[in-house]
Each structure stands twice: as C-alpha cells, then as structure tokens.
Amino acid sequence: MRRVSTLLLVAAVLAVVGAAAGAQATAVQVRAGANGGSYLSDSRGMTLYYYTKDADGQSACSGNCLNSWPAFYAATITAPASLKVSDFGTITRADGAKQTTYLGWPLYLFARDVNPGDTAGEAANKVWYVMRPSGYTVALSTSATLGNYLVDSTGMALYWYTRDTPGQSVCAGDCVKNWPLFYTANPVVPSSLAAADFATITRADGSKQTTYKGYPLYYWVRDAKRGDTTGQDVGKVWYVIDPAKFPVTAS
C-alpha cells in the first residue's frame, strides 16, 4: 500500500513538473490589445517589439539601447496554433549573444513594461512597435541616410514612381518587369501609419495594386534582400517613401 502511495505521489509530482515545463516551453504567446488588435508576448505575457532600424534582419540595438530594449531569446519556440513556428528564427548578434526573430525581425522586450500586457514602448521615437501575430503587411524600416521608409512584411523596400498620378499607374510592360507591383488585400500597419491611407486600384490588365495616399506602390527587381534600397533615385523618378514627407512634389 505504501508503495502504491509513493508511486502516486511521484506521478503527481511529475505531472506538475511536466505542466510547468510545458508552460515555460510556450515561449511566445498571442495577447489581445485594448484596441482590439493582438500582439506577441513572451511566456510571462511581456510584450515583444520590433525595431525599424533592423532593416537588414540584424540587430542595430546595442550598448545602452539594450538596457532599455533587452533582446528576446528562446532556444526552443513553442507557440499557439495560430502562429507558425517556422516563422521564428535565431540570429547571432555582434556581441555573440543569440536573439529570436519573427518574420525576419529581431524581437525585443521593453524595460519600462512592468506588468504583463503593458505596451509602453509602442511607437517609441517612431522606431519601436509591438509585433503583430501576422506581422505587418506594410511595415516601417529606418535607414541612416533615407530615414523611415515603407517596406513589406519581409522588409523589402516599397517605391513610388513620380510619373504616376493619384490612383493611376503609368508603369506597364517592361517597366513592370523591373518594378513589380505591390499588393496586399488587408493593410496591417504600425500605429504611426493610418490604414486608411492605403487603398487598391485595378490596373488596365485587371491586376490589383496597393496605393499609399493615392500613389501606386512597387518593388525594385534588383533589391535582392531585406534592407536593400538600390532602387532609390533610379532615373530620378523612383524613390522610397518616407511617410512623414509624403507626398512630395514630383520632379
């Protein structure tokens, strides 16, 4: 009888330990925001952020920056079924430490978030934003030379063509081969952008294209990876979009 009791006790302890381990393994959670949107958090419910200056997928936050924005790292990612574990990755930072990424963006915590659910870092300096479960269909990146500019969910730069007019694209044929169209059916954007500024046009060939403040958006075929902006100033008519300065007078 004593042996049976001992075995039951051991089984109960193992069940508790297993449950705790399972909870700890759920390294990333999805939390509902006050405005109805959702965002990612760590296992404790602390909000996870992305940094627009990490345009190339590497962390640009170091030194004192990390005191305010600690890098988030989980060796093993277990997440709710609504998230794809394959969307998470790991980078090795310049200091040798590892950091978890989501959709290619390094993830951070914010030191001033005290309680689970706090989002005090949202839109800080217009370069820090909570990370959404689906990412952002249009996000912001930041360049030391170009400032903030629009990118897609994977960090690829978006451009506008000065010869276009609001609601109308004049880029067709070979032009589109070099400047592929950008289209998203459901604009999900950081809080410093307005989803209402994005719309859809139907082109002459029936294809759809997303516009920003009326102007059609494009990629540049020679941008090979996230963070590239080689289409900037091509022909003096193609430019990335800094939302704070757009629209500008076409030259």
Radius of gyration in angstroms for the set of CA atoms belonging to the chain, rounded to a whole number: 22
- The pLDDT assigned to 211 comes to 98
Neighbours of 84 (CB within 10 A): 11
Where are the domains positioned within the chain?
A: 28-130, 138-245
23-61 as b/e: b if 16+ CB within 10 A: eeeebbbebeeeeeebbbbbeeebbbbbbbbbbebbbbb
DSSP 151-209: EETTS-B-EEETT-BTTB----THHHHHS-B---SS----TTS-GGGEEEEE-TTS-EE
Q: What is the pLDDT of residue 204?
A: 93
Instruction: Evaluate whether 138 touches 198 at the Cβ level (below 8 Å).
Output: yes
* pTM, 2 dp: 0.85
Calpha distance 137→183 (Å, rounded): 9
Is the separation of the CB atoms in 47 and 70 below 8 Å? no
Q: Strand, coil or helix: what is 15?
A: helix
State residue 34's pLDDT score: 72
Per-residue pLDDT at 249: 62
Gap between the Cα atoms of 237 and 235, Å rounded: 5
Instruction: Tell me the pLDDT of the chain (251 aa) as tens digits.
Output: 444 444 334 344 333 333 333 434 468 999 998 776 899 999 999 999 999 999 999 999 999 999 999 999 999 999 999 999 999 999 999 999 999 999 999 999 999 999 999 999 999 999 999 999 999 999 999 999 999 999 999 999 999 999 999 999 999 999 999 999 999 999 999 999 999 999 999 999 999 999 999 999 999 999 999 999 999 999 999 999 999 999 876 44
The per-residue pLDDT for 33 is: 81
